[in-house]
Structure 1
Amino acid sequence: MVQEYLQKCRAILDTVEAQTEQIQQTARWFADTILAGRMVHVFGSGHSRIMVEEMWPRYGSFPGFNPIVELSLTFHNLVVGANGQRQAMFLENVPGLADRILRNYDLSEQDAALVISSSGCNVVPIEMAELFQQRGVKVVALITKEHSEASTSKRADGKKLSDFADLILDTGAPIGDAMLTVPGLDTPVAPGSTVGGAVLVNSIKAEVARLLTEAGHPPKVLSAGVLVGAERAVDLFESAYDEHAHRLAKLYARVGTPSYVIEK
């Protein structure tokens, strides 16, 4: 089983490599946003939260990304009971929730967005992408293409995440995500979308870092003290978090209903 899973993962890497041109285009859009002092909005509900946090903040990542993580859609550890998974799966298909989430931000056409959903069929990620596009924000969708094409949208009009994307990236996982068939077990196990998603996200991140550096604004990368020394590691963390706050402040400064505070 181990060898078979690794073989399947190598095929996923081939699928990602075949999307090099799309990855580079994504990175150019994201780098343009970051160089403009704005943020790339990263959203995923349910299990897709993993890719959001993989982008930022973690070691080897840098400011410029706005991780939109709604706990009501992504809180998994209790599984059942209060704040359980049943509620989260219900909420990610409630129309209008995406609008309530984005009401918190003053979006700009200089922004970009990465919306992650393996099936591309749940309502909230679809509406997030739709609302981003309506505001002139370029949207990159990260889906599992085969799975999405074989799945039915939970949205009333049948539209999927891919219908509201300026560019689509494919994790390379199979229909149903799980990649292995165990003898005597009638349901497959061991999903692959996380593998493909993580490789895609980090490929984008690396390409963005290159573009920012070549543009004269090398990113402040969160780095381990064992690698760069304790003092520099602290300096990088503090300066990266401060830059994140400065970028985030722009998303709040003029949001929604004007008040006298804006002019102060």
Structure 2
Amino acid sequence: MTNGTRDGGAGGTGGAGLAGRYLDAAIGLLERVRDEEAAAITAAGELIADAVAADGRLFAFGAGHSSLAAQDVVYRAGGLALMNLLSVPGVVGVDVMPATLGSALERVDGLAGAVLDSSPVRPGDVLVIISLSGRNSLPVEMAVNARALGLRVIGVTSVAYAEGTRSRHSSGTFLKDHCDLVLDTKIAVGDAELTLDSVETPFGPASTMVASALMQALMATAAAGLAERGIQPPLLRSGNVDGGHDWNGRVFQEYGDRIFYRH
């Protein structure tokens, strides 16, 4: 966590000064992820490339704000067309009212199994589960049930939470305990990078930014891994560039049996 000085003190805590502190903290987190998670990102990218080469499908899941990083790689210009959002009603973002209901649903036992049983997943597919804390029942059971169904699971989570909080799952375990590979976001417990003497609680969350960066790095690594196998990665182009719609139409036609967000 980056600590600010007193209001109006040296270094500037108002306006651009505090913004700079936040950006410095964000850059520091990205540098840590780059340096410390490189091997895990490479391995996860290879796992995804292996699945695509073997006609497998790709899914991403996150609850609450963690869903934003999952959505960021679905139907995305420059991204893999095969990434599908595994949606759980009521927990995708903060669109459900009241928003606190989404948080409550993350703690409901059995929900993940019901979602997976009604989804198009099959053995050999890859599921990326994004959860900042990894402590709630939903991401833990999602990983457990997905692996039982024969999926490979990649977790994007903060390992610090497993060391500094208690699990809310009956097993006492965290998401990280049930994954084939884990990408650690390095986010501190509380997800707040700034403090000020005049503000009563830490602020400045960075988890969404880091998780999204990890997901895009993962997609890029997978695309390169496919190219190394002699397989053109099924990438989408922006619909706002000439020829983009035609390009994407051909990708959808070729890989339509593995793309579920168009159904």
TM-score category of the 2 structures, normalised to the smaller one: 0.7 to 0.9
Is the aligned partner of 1:2 residue 2:16? no
1:93–1:122 contact (8 Å) kept in structure 2: yes
Counterparts of 1:57-136 in structure 2 under 5 Å?
Answer: 57-77=75-95, 83-105=97-119, 107-136=121-150
2:83–2:259 contact (8 Å) kept in structure 1: no
Aligned pair partner of 2:30 in 13, 23, 29: 13
Q: Which amino acid aligns with 2:205?
A: P
Is the aligned partner of 1:247 residue 2:258? yes
Which residue of 2 is the match for residue 143 of structure 1?
157
CA-to-aligned-CA distance 1:131-151 (integer Å, 9 cap, x gap): 111123221111012133212
Alpha-carbon distance change, 35 to 243 in structure 1, aligned in 2, over 3 angstroms: same
CA-to-aligned-CA distance 1:25-83 (integer Å, 9 cap, x gap): 000100111111111221111111111111211121122222112231125246xxxx3
Which residue of 2 is the match for residue 49 of structure 1?
67
Secondary structure (helix, strand or coil) at the match of 1:43 reads: strand
Which residue of 1 is the match for residue 52 of structure 2?
34
| In 1, Cα distance between equivalents of 2:53 and 2:248 | 20
Which residue of 2 is the match for residue 238 of structure 1?
249
CA-to-aligned-CA distance 1:182-240 (integer Å, 9 cap, x gap): 231121111111121111111111111111122222123222356xx42x201122233
Query: What is the percentage of aligned positions where both structures have the same residue?
Result: 28
Q: Which amino acid aligns with 2:27?
A: R
Q: Which amino acid aligns with 1:134?
A: A
| In 2, Cα distance between equivalents of 1:185 and 1:236 | 51
1:108–1:137 contact (8 Å) kept in structure 2: yes
Which residue of 2 is the match for residue 259 of structure 1?
none
| In 2, Cα distance between equivalents of 1:133 and 1:66 | 18
Secondary structure (helix, strand or coil) at the match of 2:183 reads: strand
Secondary structure (helix, strand or coil) at the match of 1:4 reads: helix
| In 1, Cα distance between equivalents of 2:73 and 2:140 | 20
Alpha-carbon distance change, 53 to 244 in structure 1, aligned in 2, over 3 angstroms: farther
Which residue of 2 is the match for residue 261 of structure 1?
none
User: In proportion to residue count, which structure has more helix?
Assistant: 1
Secondary structure (helix, strand or coil) at the match of 2:193 reads: strand
| In 2, Cα distance between equivalents of 1:126 and 1:48 | 14
Alpha-carbon distance change, 243 to 65 in structure 1, aligned in 2, over 3 angstroms: farther
| In 2, Cα distance between equivalents of 1:225 and 1:40 | 22
TM-score (norm 2): 0.86
1:38–1:64 contact (8 Å) kept in structure 2: no
Tell me how far 1:157 sits from its aligned partner.
Answer: 2.2
Q: Which amino acid aligns with 2:28?
A: A
In structure 1, the gaps of 5 or more residues are 253-264
Tell me how far 1:155 sits from its aligned partner.
Answer: 1.1
